[in-house]
Amino acid sequence: AAATLATSFSENSSATAIIVPSEHDALHVSYRQLTRDILEFQSKLAQLGIKHADAVSIALPNSYEFIVAFLATSYQRAIAAPLNPAYKQSEFEFYIEDLSSSVVLVPRGAYAKNGPAVKSARKFQAAIAECYLDGSRPVLQVKEKGKLAGAQAQRVSQAHPGDVALVLHTSGTTGRPKAVPLTHRNLTRTMQNIQNTYELTTSDRTMLVMPLFHVHGLLAGFLAPLRAAGSVVVPGAFSARSFWRDFITHKANWYTAVPTMHQILLRNPPPSPKPQIRFIRSCSSPLSPKIFSELEATYEAPVLEAYAMTEAAHQMTSNPLPHRGKRKPGSVGVGQGVEVKILDDQGDEVPQGVAGEISIRGENVTSGYINNEKANKEAFTKGGFFRTGDQGKKDEDGYVIITGRIKELINRGGEKISPIELDHIISTSPEVSEAVSFAIPSELYGQEVGVAVVPKPGQNVTEDNITKFIASKTAKFKIPSRVWILKEIPKTATGKIQRRKVAESLLAKDL
């Protein structure tokens, strides 16, 4: 089995690996050319003094140079550490220090601008290099050598399956982001799992929408299709209009995205004739059954919701393709090359239908957070299962239904309320475009339910309407004691809602 990134794709094939759309001439790169570019970039990294286990921070937007830098880093047995290029100074400093980055790769012109990535790299003596395309050739131009000054060029060696290839931090939805090391073995296992789940082949064309600096875009949107010897269309920044133009021009046949992105695309649907879409994948945040139906109706394609996390090198479960089984709205499907158990606090499996902590085991799962013994002790059971921190249950067919993050469940006087379930119920109101439920402190109950909703454009929604609507759909104890009407619900870069933060900021306004 292919156990390193380098052995996971056909280096010598003339098939198209990457397409970078452009107003004029799109860039088409074959697997053979991609391999040449990687090897050349790798020797540049080696000349700079990058060696086994050094962290290479890649602060580049989605681009061909990102892809080459990422793979070249892993060929050099170094550790790729992609960073959101839009981070502010304090964020860059946090990650560059936490990773002890040896070099920070920035886009062309970033050095002269002396932006936050450059300043932060200098503060921690990381080398700084610009990456860009010269015509179609990726260039690495060293600007400052930092702590690599005087480093010897290292002989190129082959990566081992157990080498750490990637370090990413969790999204920080429930606390301080945690550094997750992922080995070649972890990554290639996920690539294989995703390829199997969706039966990806060389004739598939993936439209990459998600950023490459998180596992979603990197594994599902890029590495898995590469393992299948398919082609990946890599536009720069996302815009709904250019999305469909590029999708149609370059004959893409599927994409994966977060629910927020699906909603944006639904509001800007493709021109007719509609493109032929084999399937659409949704992951990283709960997809409401309402959006699920709208997507299937609009695109006439199956929508497959999956469940993933950084610690699992992305995917754990997914709904199946239509010929392999049912897809169930509101469920994230079944384990895909990953064992899934629902455990109680003692680590014992609960009966079917009962909620507990979703726990997973598989070759894709990290062996533990970096420098975080406490978190690692809590995370793994004696049987080697990883506790996800998510609460869920299995239905009669073994499909997983996520009911919330354990830290975010609402505990109203001992009654546990699933915020996700409540969001979905409120979203079925024809007046509501989005809803978020959360715990608010209560003297009487410990916690009570708070809800914030975003009305559909043109709808005149009141707090009272919403309360009555919820009262008509749920048990009494789930009725919110407070409702806020908002224009927008703030989200993280990955499209996640930080329930506790939303609650805190709304309650702070009362003071």
Site residues for ligand ATP per CB under 6 A: 170-175, 177-178, 283-286, 305, 307-310, 332, 388-390, 402, 405, 494, 496
Q: Which residue of the chain is nearest Mg ion when measured via CB?
A: 170
What is the dihedral sign for C-alpha 251, 235, 265, 392?
positive
By CB under 5 A, the residues from 250 to 279 that bind Mg ion are none
Longest dimension (CA), the chain: 71
Q: Give the relative orientation of helices 259-267 and 240-249 as an angle to the nearest 10 degrees.
A: 90
Omega prior to 329 cis, within 30 of 0? no
C-alpha span between 465 and 468 (Å, rounded): 5
- Give 122 or 387: the residue with its C-beta nearer to Mg ion: 387
The interface partner of residue 330, options being ligand ATP, Mg ion, none and the CB cut-off 5 to 8 Å by kind, is: none
Tell me how far, at minimum, the Cβ of 175 lies from ligand ATP, in Å: 6
C-alpha span between 168 and 81 (Å, rounded): 6
Give strand pairing partners of 248: none
Tell me how far, at minimum, the Cβ of 407 lies from ligand ATP, in Å: 8
3-state helix, strand, coil in the chain (%, to 5): 30, 25, 40
The interface partner of residue 243, options being Mg ion, ligand ATP, none and the CB cut-off 5 to 8 Å by kind, is: none
The interface partner of residue 284, options being ligand ATP, Mg ion, none and the CB cut-off 5 to 8 Å by kind, is: ligand ATP
- Give 177 or 329: the residue with its C-beta nearer to Mg ion: 177
Please report which residue ranges of 216-321 form alpha helices under DSSP H. 224-227, 240-249, 259-267, 289-299
- Give 286 or 455: the residue with its C-beta nearer to ligand ATP: 286
End-to-end C-alpha distance for the chain, whole angstroms: 60
Tell me how far, at minimum, the Cβ of 312 lies from ligand ATP, in Å: 8
The interface partner of residue 405, options being ligand ATP, Mg ion, none and the CB cut-off 5 to 8 Å by kind, is: ligand ATP
- Give 57 or 170: the residue with its C-beta nearer to Mg ion: 170
C-alpha span between 4 and 161 (Å, rounded): 5
- Give 74 or 391: the residue with its C-beta nearer to ligand ATP: 391
Q: Which stretch binds Mg ion (CB under 5 A): 139-147, 165-173, 366-374, 427-435?
A: 165-173
Residue 293, both tokens: 């139906």
C-alpha span between 329 and 264 (Å, rounded): 19
Tell me how far, at minimum, the Cβ of 440 lies from Mg ion, in Å: 23
- Between strands 79-82 and 127-134, the pairing is unpaired
What is the dihedral sign for C-alpha 426, 427, 428, 431?
positive
CA distances from 180 to 98, 164, 311, 352 (A): 11, 10, 6, 31
- Give 65 or 390: the residue with its C-beta nearer to ligand ATP: 390
Tell me how far, at minimum, the Cβ of 484 lies from ligand ATP, in Å: 22
Tell me how far, at minimum, the Cβ of 309 lies from Mg ion, in Å: 6
Q: Which stretch binds Mg ion (CB under 5 A): 144-152, 163-171, 326-334, 365-373?
A: 163-171
Of residues 276, 258, 225, the one with CA closest to residue 234: 225
3-state secondary structure of 46: helix
Tell me how far, at minimum, the Cβ of 305 lies from ligand ATP, in Å: 5
- Give 202 or 371: the residue with its C-beta nearer to ligand ATP: 371
The interface partner of residue 182, options being ligand ATP, Mg ion, none and the CB cut-off 5 to 8 Å by kind, is: none
- Give 178 or 341: the residue with its C-beta nearer to ligand ATP: 178
Residue 224, both tokens: 């898995």
- Give 185 or 496: the residue with its C-beta nearer to ligand ATP: 496
Residues 49-88, mask of contacts with Mg ion (x by CB under 5 A): ----------------------------------------
- Give 197 or 310: the residue with its C-beta nearer to ligand ATP: 310
Size of the site for Mg ion (CB under 5 A): 1
Tell me how far, at minimum, the Cβ of 308 lies from ligand ATP, in Å: 5
Tell me how far, at minimum, the Cβ of 344 lies from ligand ATP, in Å: 18
C-alpha span between 432 and 459 (Å, rounded): 8
Q: Which stretch binds Mg ion (CB under 5 A): 166-174, 205-213, 364-372, 435-443?
A: 166-174
What letters, b where the CB count within 10 A reaches 16 and e where it falls short, cover 378-388? Answer: ebbbeeebbbb
Selected from 120, 170, 193, 282, the binder of Mg ion by CB under 5 A is 170
- Give 16 or 170: the residue with its C-beta nearer to ligand ATP: 170
C-alpha span between 19 and 5 (Å, rounded): 20
Give strand pairing partners of 19: 28, 233
Q: Cβ of 312: how many Cβ atoms within 10 Å?
A: 26
Residue with tokens 């894709």: 364
| 494 near Mg ion, rule: CB under 5 A | no
What is the dihedral sign for C-alpha 7, 10, 11, 16?
negative
The interface partner of residue 110, options being ligand ATP, Mg ion, none and the CB cut-off 5 to 8 Å by kind, is: none
- Give 146 or 333: the residue with its C-beta nearer to ligand ATP: 333
| 366 near Mg ion, rule: CB under 5 A | no
The interface partner of residue 496, options being ligand ATP, Mg ion, none and the CB cut-off 5 to 8 Å by kind, is: ligand ATP
Please report which residue ranges of 55-183 form alpha helices under DSSP H. 64-75, 89-99, 110-113, 116-123
C-alpha span between 400 and 42 (Å, rounded): 42
Tell me how far, at minimum, the Cβ of 334 lies from ligand ATP, in Å: 13
Tell me how far, at minimum, the Cβ of 359 lies from ligand ATP, in Å: 12
CB 369 within 8 A of CB 180: yes
Residues that bind Mg ion (CB under 5 A): 170
